[in-house]
Structure 1
Amino acid sequence: MADETPVTTAPPPTSTGTLPEVTKEDEQPQESLVKAISEEVPVVGFLQPKEGEEPTIRKPIPQSLISFKEESNIVADLSDSERKALQELKQLVQEALNTHQFTAPKPPPVQAATQENPKPKKKPVPNEVSIWGVPLLKDDRSDVILQKFLRARDFKVKDAFVMLRNTIQWRREFGIDALVDEDLGDDLEKVVFMHGYDREGHPVCYNVFGEFQNKELYQKTFLDEEKRTKFLRWRVQFLERGIRKLDFRPGGVCTIFQVNDLKNSPGPAKSELRLATKQALQLLQDNYPEFVAKQVFVNAPWWYLAFYTLISPFMTQRTKSKFVFASPAKSAETLFKYISAEHVPIQYGGLSVDYCDCNPEFTIADPAVEVTIKPGTKKIVEIIIYEKCTIVWELRVVGGSFKVGELGKILLTIDNPTSKKKRLVYRFKIEPSY
């Protein structure tokens, strides 16, 4: 998230009707990728090389770069210096609450011309400030929130406090509390959506910018500044709603697993998308620290890795360890490493469909079995039958059912005549049949 960001005072918060200014310098694709990856914020759709340009580096897309274990948010697990930094930040927050630094100052009361018996001044009462539904202090979740800002600024207390203060001010000016309940429509529900959980319990967010190949949707979203402003508010609203479902208790899951689908991602000619994405990126990196558990890029073309290779020397090992790239042929297999098949959407090779879709037989509560079929071999799935029943099965994206009238076995044989190994995902359910 903020591993590579220079520790400086954050830029002034953006008001509701104003978008962050993007300069010509910001529109450089390579610099955009550097900033996006170093801040661990998903950004796709505008990083393709311009026509006539071709990076000189072409390497196989790696499945993973470095093993990564997410840091513990339990205070007892922090180092001595990190615990000290947390205490110092809490002291700064308390002082700010006492002096109402996090809230807009109230206008002075109108005083009468004469006061016969002036009342003694009351001692100021500290105000209470919450962020993502969590009070800044005196809550068992407060330390987890403050640690996010500390990690974003490498545990430099003053810089973390400045970031926190600016974030609170931006949230007030942007109208976050009202925005969460605002109706902004569902036109973009296929562009960014939450679906299932990874193997460690993180909610999974899918970013599918290839949807903007639809010309009508693209123009409706980015054609002018008013539409881009609405898109930005929708993106912030979506993130806010997702964050409020996280568990900020010590040891809880308080980060999101990001899947970025690069298939048919619009190229650099889509300047409106590039501008809107940069504006969203600026807000996310300034105001949402340490909310990404891992970034997986699926359907990644070779040029994406080429750009990543060029900018990776500027990133810390911690940042690089959170990134995984998968070519189109390896996308499903890569997702299965981190997300069980019953939680992976069917369009990505998994078994999970929308609740309103056409698969009432299975839910995410029905586990799937994953096996690898070696080249030139067959896999036999054995199902033991103990009573009259109906067998319902699902093999990857192919399913079926079969009524059984006697005891015995059902054998599903999957043949792999190719010279390459294949990954099989299946599940079945036995239902009484009368």
Structure 2
Amino acid sequence: MEASSPMFLQQKTPLQELPEASPKPYKKSFVTTLMEAATLRSTSFKEDTYFVSHLKSSERKALQELKDKLMASYGSEDCSMWGIPLLGGNDKADVILLKFLRARDFRVNDSFHMLDKCLTWRREFGADGVVEEDLGFKELEGLVAYMHGYDREGHPVCYNAYGVFRDKDMYERIFGDEEKLKKFLRWRVQVLERGINLLHFKPGGVNSIIQVTDLKDMPKRELRVASNHILSLFQDNYPEMVARKIFINVPWYFSVLYSMFSPFLTQRTKSKFVISKEGNAAETLYKFIRPEDVPIQYGGLSRPSDLQNGPPKPASEFTIKGGEKVNIQIEGIEGGATITWDIVVGGWDLEYSAEFVPNEEGSYAIAVEKPRKMSSSDEAVHNSFTPREAGKMILSVDNTASRKKKVAAYRYIVRKSTLV
């Protein structure tokens, strides 16, 4: 049983009470301008619903022509993807065919050529059975590429982080020769196939995933060959499978590269990009993914073990302004009951504490967690407390030493004592 809703107390400090000086005019750096431009473009993307009735007449005609070419070429042969017969004439088949058409701007011949090559590749690669294979990459699971939770609109989220390969031994063990590279690519396809198996493949449903790529410590030169192979495989065989690409912990040179290649990208592709510089991962991810679904290493509340226990308990989000202290009061806790809580602040770098205040007049407050400075790399706090008497829990986050606003989230549950 949960306690009554918590109260927020936001304390003004002398830093806030002083009149603010007029901001000095400044020029945005080249990198900042690129960052903002890329982020702004991300909001313009509108995901396709795949309702045939919503298509233009020329697009409906292209869809029918693609079906006719497919029938003429394959006839009674097995022609399916992800267990969906492409010649079945149902909505699910239309979703897949429309993905190939959109990838080639509804040019039927080009779309058919792409689809035909993809069907051949899936058959030769054994893509339909790769999900069940044990490829021996246990050390990379949950670390390099992995599916983890959903975004606010229900898209499965795939995280990618290649910083571990800056270790030369790790790099040699995974990419040391051509056979090892092939095995890694097969494992990377396996991860993507697991995500695709979570899609609906129906008009108005969830028909694509979200991709989050962490660029921190990524050894770009060493991974160039592997990256090119992955990009080529995904572009050729998984068209329109990614609704949004979020890059976090982006170094300055990435923005420069983006500006160089941006003119060669379609507006549709650029509209899917979200670029977030280092230190802003939580703030960026919270815009698209709820805190309870964001991994703890990126300022969220989700631990790998949580995914085994069904849907996560929802969290409450809040912001802490610069120069502000926030107290979250959780009242109505009975004596003998146990309160368990999680709390996180994106890029902490502030002070946190927790205390229990009994209702009984004259009782002393109990320091459950003494005030301590949380570093930017600290993960979410998880703790519990069982008081002897009724009272309230106060969780405090103190951002008075900073002028930077921070995003934060918490959740809690109170279980009554079973003792009579």
Separation in structure 1 between the aligned mates of residue 181 and residue 58 of structure 2, nearest angstrom: 43
1:83 is aligned, of 60, 72, 83, to: 60
Paired residues of 1:341 and 1:350 also in contact (CA < 8 A): yes
Q: Percent identity?
A: 51
Q: How far is the alpha carbon of 1:329 from its aligned partner? A: 1.8
Could you tell me which residue of structure 2 aligns to residue 416 of structure 1? 399
Q: How many aligned positions are there?
A: 346
Partner SS for 2:116: helix
Paired residue for 1:134, among 84, 89, 101?
84
Q: Which amino acid aligns with 2:53?
A: A
1:64 to 28, 32, 39: 39
> Which residue number corresponds to residue 322 of structure 1?
272
Contact 1:65–1:320 (CA under 8 A) maintained in structure 2: no
In structure 1, the partner of 2:366 is: none
Measured at CA, do residues 218 and 408 of structure 1 come closer, stay the same or move farther in structure 2, by a change above 3 Å?
same
- Return the match for 2:256 from 306, 309, 316: 306
Cα deviation, residue 413, structure 1: 2.6
**Are 1:213 and 1:264, in contact at CA under 8 Å, matched by a contact in 2?**
yes
Amino acid at match of 1:228: L
Where does the alignment leave 5 or more consecutive residues of structure 1 unmatched? Answer: 1-55, 99-125
State the shift of 1:127 in Å.
2.6
One-letter identity of the residue aligned with 1:399: H
Q: What is the CA–CA distance in structure 2 between the aligned matches of 1:375 and 1:57, rounded to whole Å? A: 26
**1:182 paired to 2:133:** yes
CA 415–154 in structure 1, closer or farther in 2 if over 3 Å, else same: same
Pair 1:254 & 2:207 matched = yes
Give the strand-richer structure, 1 or 2.
2
Partner of 1:392: 340
8 A Cα contact 1:133 1:244, kept in partner: no
The one-letter amino acid paired with 2:267 is Q
Which position in structure 2 is the counterpart of 1:425?
409
Deviations 1:231-263 (A, max 9, x none): 122222222232122111222212110000000
Contact residue 343 and residue 364 of structure 1 kept, 8 A: no
CA distance in 1, matches of 2:386, 2:132: 48
- The aligned counterpart of 2:117 is 166
Give the alignment partner of residue 233 of structure 1, picking from 175, 179, 186: 186
Aligned equivalent of 1:28: none
Measure the CA separation in 1 of the matches of 2:282 and 2:216: 13
In 2, the alpha carbon distance for the partners of 1:377 and 1:59 equals 26
> Aligned with 2:32: secondary structure?
coil
Cα RMSD (Å)? 2.1
Q: Quick check: 1:145–1:248 contact (8 Å CA) kept in 2?
A: yes
One-letter amino acid of the structure 2 residue matched with residue 403 of structure 1: T
> Retained in 1: the 8 A contact 2:149–2:294?
yes
* Structure 2 counterpart of 1:154, from 80, 105, 109: 105
Please, which of 94, 101, 107 is the counterpart of residue 143 of structure 1?
94
* 3-state secondary structure, aligned to 1:64: helix
Question: Under a length normalisation based on structure 2, what TM-score does the superposition of the two structures give?
Answer: 0.78
SS at match of 1:141: helix
1:2-401 equivalent positions in 2, closer than 5 A? 57-60=30-33, 61-62=35-36, 64-66=39-41, 67=43, 68-98=45-75, 126-138=76-88, 139-185=90-136, 186-189=138-141, 190-268=143-221, 270=222, 273-355=223-305, 364-385=311-332, 387-388=334-335, 389-396=337-344, 397-401=380-384
Q: Are the structure 2 counterparts of residues 424 and 176 from structure 1 closer, same or farther at C-alpha, using a change threshold of 3 Å? A: closer
SS in 2 for 1:59: helix
**Unaligned segments of structure 2, at least 5 residues:** 1-28, 345-379
Q: Do 1:59 and 1:306's aligned partners in 2 also have CA atoms closer than 8 Å?
A: no
Deviations 1:79-120 (A, max 9, x none): 22212211221122222232xxxxxxxxxxxxxxxxxxxxxx
Distance 2:68 2:260 in 1: 42
Q: 3-state DSSP class of the match of 1:248?
A: coil
Cα deviation, residue 380, structure 1 = 2.0
Q: What is the CA-CA distance between 1:405 and the residue it aligns to?
A: 4.2
- Separation in 2, partners of 1:204, 1:245: 10
C-alpha distance in 1 between matches for 2:317 and 2:310? 17
Whole-angstrom CA distance in 1 between matches of 2:152 and 2:77: 40
- String of CA shifts for 1:144-188, please: whole Å, max 9, x gaps: 010100000001111111111111111122222343332211232
Are the counterparts in 1 of residues 213 and 246 from structure 2 also a CA contact under 8 Å? yes
Q: 2 CA distance for matches of 1:376 and 1:180?
A: 50
TM-score by length of 1: 0.75
Matched residue SS, 1:310: helix
Aligned equivalents of 2:133 and 2:151: distance in 1? 29
Counterpart for residue 15 of structure 2: none
Structure 1 position 59, deviation (Å): 3.1
Residue 312 of structure 1, CA deviation:
1.1
Cα distance in 2 for residues equivalent to 1:312 and 1:198? 26
1:385–1:212: structure 2 CA closer, same or farther, 3 Å change rule?
same
**Regions of 4+ moved over 6 Å:** none
Residues 310, 243 of structure 1: CA spacing in aligned structure 2 closer, same or farther, 3 A cutoff?
same
Q: Counterpart of 1:385 in 2: which secondary structure?
A: strand
CA contact (8 A) 1:342 1:364 kept: no
Q: Give the deviation of 1:267 after TM superposition.
A: 3.4
Q: Deviations over 1:32-76 (max 9, x none)?
A: xxxxxxxxxxxxxxxxxxxxxxxx953353271322221111212
